[in-house]
Structure 1
Amino acid sequence: MLSITLAQKRMNRIINNSLSNSLCFCTRLFILLIILFSGHCVSGEHTPSFAAFGEISFSEGVTEESVPIRPVLEYEPGTIKICAVFPFMNMEDGMPVEIEWLYNDEWFYSTDEEWDEGEEGITHRSISWENDRELDPGIYTLRLFINGQLARSADVEVLAPSREETQEPARNLEDFIDPDLMRAWEILAYADNDLLNDLAMLVPDYGIELRLTDDMTSNGQYVYVSGKKEPGKVYISWDFSEKTCWEDVSATIAHELTHAVQHLTSDEGKFGCTVEREYEAYMAKFYALMETGRTDILIDSWSGVYNPRTGKIWKNELWKALKEAYASCPEY
């Protein structure tokens, strides 16, 4: 069970407690940074003390803020683009970095870069043909180098076409979505955002249930059976749904559905709380609020990571805030 209430409250305190309403936006951000850098943070077992890249995950698409769209363990035949998402830590701007792709263990493409993305956070890279032609079936390997040394690598397979494809029977939404949550689901399903659309389609595609309940203290939770790749359920608090707006309920569902897709596409033995997973879930929540025009909620509750001038999230500051709020969790 993944619950966000206590960590979210802690995160809100980190961002807002020391900030008075009379402070200007820039001063609020400055104080946030002081809090984040001066606070004691317990490092996870996967957090190194040297420049490094974290575990690489693959997806069909990726947002500007490095949130994966449709995470995959392997790619279907006809894939035209491979997207790789990975965290980074203890980096310095100006470091030489090489991004190398192999195809069936042979060189495929590489670029040399001068690092300019800051000390810690999350980023992404992708590979595709310029004319959007399909990638050949086989094993693709991403190798990441720092200062000429291999820092991280991962393989992913593009499958060859199969002769027979089975058609899955259609599912009825009414069987999986509480009638009082249908409107919140529709906000995601019809949003002008690929990530939110895909999260909404997890419900009929995987059979994930959306239910209201009185028996919980958090706003929302994704509940699943440990050790099994069953769809699980997303629960939303009745009390929360009655006190807040539809857009906020929808954003909370997006957060919890992100945990659902993480569970369904991860190695069961490794699934659990990480800063990276919470980053993805919070970004989904923020996308829902931005897409529905409820930036007032972001300004009120998340001013330390949301820039109202550009309408975007400071992704590195969000990463740092989550690292502090989820101090007992590894980064990836």
Structure 2
Amino acid sequence: MEAFNLTSSGPPTIILNGITGLEAAHIWISIPFSTFYLISLSGNFTVLFVVSKEQTLHKPMYLLLCMLAITDIGMSTSVVPKALCIFCFGFKRITVDGCLTQMFLLYVFAVTHSAILVIMAFDRYIAICDPLRYTTILTNAQITKLGLVGLIRAVLLILPLPLLLRRLPLCANHVILHTYCEHIAVVKISSGDTRINRTYGLVITVVNIGLDLTLIGLSYGLIIRAVLRISSKKAHQKALNTCTAHICVMLMSYTPFLFTAMTQRFSKGDAAHVHILLANLHFLVPPMLNPIIYGVKTKELRDKINLFNHLLISFRITCHPHILCHLAFL
């Protein structure tokens, strides 16, 4: 075994193997990956653009949607471009610093994403249980502060991961059987005593996700209690409909994350390609579907996006002849 401390002058790169067992199909796998990624970028940037341009959407709910879109873009961009380089061009090498940076950014965006889902649950609780004070409790300034708290929490929680890994020497075989630098995968190619790394990684998963899910569950418990006190069935349906999009986003975010975290930690290597594919889809499918879900379920946002699309189409139709004339003149 070659002792390679991350702070010393050892081998400068780590090899990301891609989807182990499906190397021959990498080029075909890149097609849906790139398609999902482009749809995700276009959808989330559309939400950011429309909300930023429409003054009527400068509200706490839509500010939270923008924060969610930013974390979705950050998570998928931390993983997918490097994965596509592996699939399409065979660029499997990544520097040690690049690996640790990718890990840090990925988990910071993921933990911030979870914090935003908690804030959204609190937003729904106030909107349903105390609607008369909604505008005074949740202002844009308050939402911004809560978002910053979520980001600071994520940085403080995740920063020890790369710092703890830097103290470990790596094994002679610097190959990660994955498409990105997942924490426990890097721990597995490290020698020395990795108990601190494994324990801290597990603590982050349990405490962070456990705390966030507890707060979300508490919010929805209070929401359900308030809804059950309403006698009108129509009011029941209207109140619950305001939570549908958030519930769908939560299920898509937490379910694959918990499954990926547990299988990556406790899997013995059986069907590794299945685990890797699911781990990658976690950073592809939710960011792609989140803006679609909120675009469909949120009428005000849907109307503004449709208006924007109509204006864009009209602009193209109006400008097209002039562009042709200009080109002909040139």
Name the TM-score, length of structure 1 as normaliser: 0.26
Which structure: greater helix fraction? 2
Identify the structure with bigger relative contact order (alpha carbons < 8 Å, sequence gap 6+).
Answer: 2
Name the TM-score, length of structure 2 as normaliser: 0.26
Which structure: greater strand fraction? 1
Higher radius of gyration, 1 or 2? 2
